[in-house]
Structures are given as C-alpha cells and as structure tokens.
Amino acid sequence: MFAVGFGANLFSALMPSYKHFYNFTQAHVTFLLAVYVLGLIPTLLLSGPLSDVYGRRAVIRPAMIVSAIGSLILLAGVVLGFGALLVGRFLVGASMGMVLAAGASWLKEISAGPAAVSARRATVAITAGFASGPLCSGCIAEWLPAPDVVPYVVHIVLIVVVTVVAWNTPEAVPSTATAGGGTSPERVGVSAGGGDDAALTTGGKAGGVAIFRGRLFSRSVLTPRFLWAVAAWAPWVFGAATTSFSVLPALVRVEWTSAYSGLIAALTLGSGLLVQPWAQRLGNRDTVAPAIVGLVLIFLGMGASVLVALSNSPLSVFPAAILLGASYGVMMVSGLREVQEIAPPHELGAATAIYYSLTYAGFFVPFILSYIGPAIGYEWAFVFGAMVAVASIVPVAKATANASVHARATG
C-alpha cells in the first residue's frame, strides 16, 4: 500500500515542472491529477468484491505490476507527450484502486484488536506513501536533472523491491458467507493449504463467479448510517487534501516551485498521518463524532485558504495545509472505521471499495477550481467550500447520534 501510494502521488509535486517545461495550464495539470481517479474507481469497485472471493493476494500482486507499468509510461511522457501522461496516470490510478480495498481488508484480517486499529494501519500505509512520494519527487525535480524522468525511475525501483518481498506473503482465511447463505470456515477463493488463490473451496470456479457477482455491491451502503454518516462527507477527504497541495501552492510565488509543492504535499498528508492516533482515540469515546471534527477542520482550513488567496504569501499556506491535512486524516480513519463496523464480513471488500470511490471523487476538486477560481476569485470559492462544510455538520451529527443510540440499544 505504501509503495503504490508513493507512486500515485509523485505527480502532485511535478505539476510546476510540467507547467514550466511543457507550457501546461493549471487546468491541464489538475486534470492529469484527477484522471487517475477514472482508473481508480472502476478497478476499486471490482477489486474489492473480487478479493472477497479469490483472496487479497490475488489482487495485490497484479496491482504492483500495473503500478510499475504506469510509472514507466509516465516516464515515456517526456517523448510521447500529454497522451502518454494521461494513460500513465490512468494506470497508476487503476493500480491504486486494486490495492486499496484489498489491502485495507487484508490488514483488518491480520490485525489484532478492534476495527479502529486496522483502519488506522491502512490509512497510515496509504498516507505515508502519499506524503513521501511528492516530497521525494519535489526535491528531485528541483535539484537533479531530468525532473520528468528520475522520480518515476525511483518509484519503479521501489515497486520491484517491494514486489519481490511481498509476492508470497501469506494471508488470513476468515469465515465468510457461502453462495447458499451458510458459512464456510474459509474465504471462497483461498485454499486451506495456502496454495493456488484461484482454487475455490466452494463450488469451484462457477460457484466463485456466482458469489463474486453477488458481492459487486454491498447492501450496507444503502443504510441511513452509511449514507449520512459516511457518504455525505466522503468526497471531502481528498477534496480537502488535494486543494491544499495542488491549488494553494499555485496561488503564491516562490523560487523553488517543485520543492515547495512537495513540501506542502508532505505537510498536508503528514498532518493527516500524525492526527490519526488522536482520531482513533476520539472515535473510541462516546462524545463528538470524528467526522464532525473533520468537518470543523475543513471549515477552518477553507478559512485559512481564503487568507492565502488574498495575501499570496507562501507562509500563509502552511497553516491552511496543516488544517486541511488534519481533516483528511480524521475523516479517512473515521470513514474506514464506520465501514468496517457497518459491513458484514463477506461484503467488507465491496463496502470499502465504495467508500474509497466516494473519497477519491474529491480529486476532481482542483480541476473544478481551475475554472471557478479565476472566474469568481479563489477566495469566494473557498468561502463557498467553508459554507458547505458547515451545512454538512447537522445531518452527519444526526446520523451518528442515531447510530450511537442503536448501538447502545442492541449492545
């Protein structure tokens, strides 16, 4: 999860380089940032339930290969141009989609303790990769030759090393529902002896396909708890983070643009990483819901972003990045925890995939802002974002309160 996340977010710190050397506009680079989601969501929605049937490792292995191929095509973009960059970003997104649901579910299965522990571990792995990728690529682009080549070479080497180490990593075999509605001591798709991942234990390949089709969608995501306590705010997770590291640096003038962008990305995602232990403890208390805290942090972060737009000061970006990054960390952990508590075991992969898909829709926020910002002023766009965050608090608070009452009544 770390290695694929590292490669997925390399591009964010290279946006100034592509604008400078290729004469790309802000709309060009933010679309390249977002097109990765078009590859991510379909594979995420398929790979989650696929991993429920055939096993997590059967999805993680090809994900690492696709990630390396994506970086290789991005590397070739220096010659092949914008089209190759689109394809490369799409494939990098596809690899991220494959690893997200399967990786998070795998961590839950091998982690001791409550759902919050595995949710935090999954988010830490992803966030550490997201943060270190742009920090590394930003420094390379600023002070080493071939800024549009060397960062991708670093990622390919990392993927090769991780693939060799992780290829035969064993996986847990939890109980799961069978095609007939009963239970089996093994997940369909993982043999008892740890052999071929495709050797179905229930009904052979035909049974596995039937179960896979039945798990493409998790009915748990239609519950009021998921719709209001998760889906209502999920796009804010990456909407806030990407606004911080791909929009705010473009509003200020600095000498070392790539290094600065990488630093802001690392600060944003690093803040999200550091706040997660606190977010986990907050979720264990019967007080305010972590999602509400996340929305308040978004409100404050959008307010700080207004100051960035008005002052154009490089220093003003730092508090905004910390606030928006903290909101990312709190809400990512909160959402994963909710999903792992709501979804039944045999639908966990599908439910996690749907949750991640909703969060990654936020990657289109910078692309939308590249048009709205110049039209009405970035400060007003951020004011509108702050108002939406505040308006979201009421339904989220009501849904989480109802879920808490129900949990006490049934506990």
| pTM of this prediction exceeds 0.75 | yes
Tell whether 379 is covered by a domain.
yes
What confidence score (pLDDT) does residue 337 get? 84
Total structural domains within the chain: 1
**Greater model confidence, 371 or 57:** 371
pLDDT tens digits, 84-93: 999 999 999 9
Tell whether 129 is covered by a domain.
yes
Question: DSSP labels for 196-261?
Answer: -TT--SSSHHHHHHHHHHHTSS-GGGGSHHHIIIIITTTTHHHHHHHIIIIIGGGGS--SSHHHHH
What confidence score (pLDDT) does residue 125 get? 85
Tell whether 365 is covered by a domain.
yes
What confidence score (pLDDT) does residue 150 get? 93
Question: Does 286 have pLDDT greater than 80?
Answer: no
What confidence score (pLDDT) does residue 172 get? 66
Question: CA 259 to CA 14: how far, in whole Å?
Answer: 9
Provide mean pLDDT across the span 189-204: 38
Residue 139, domain extent: 2-168+206-410
pLDDT tens digits, 380-395: 999 999 999 999 888 8
Tell whether 16 is covered by a domain.
yes
Tell whether 330 is covered by a domain.
yes
Alpha carbon of residue 157 to chain centroid: 22
Question: Does 204 have pLDDT greater than 90?
Answer: no
Tell whether 183 is covered by a domain.
no
Mean pLDDT of the chain: 83
Tell whether 71 is covered by a domain.
yes
Helix (H, G, I), strand (E, B) or coil at 50: helix
Question: CA 239 to CA 328: how far, in whole Å?
Answer: 9
CB of 159 within 8 A of CB of 64? yes
Q: If we measure between CA atoms, which residue out of 23, 1, 355, 52 comes closest to residue 186?
A: 52
Tell whether 182 is covered by a domain.
no
**Greater model confidence, 387 or 196:** 387
What confidence score (pLDDT) does residue 114 get? 62
Distances (CA, A) of 377 to 243, 306, 323, 374, 381: 15, 10, 21, 5, 7
What confidence score (pLDDT) does residue 255 get? 87
- With 0-12 / 13-18 / 19 or more C-beta atoms within 10 angstroms meaning exposed / middle / buried, residue 303 is middle
CATH number at residue 229: 1.20.1250.20
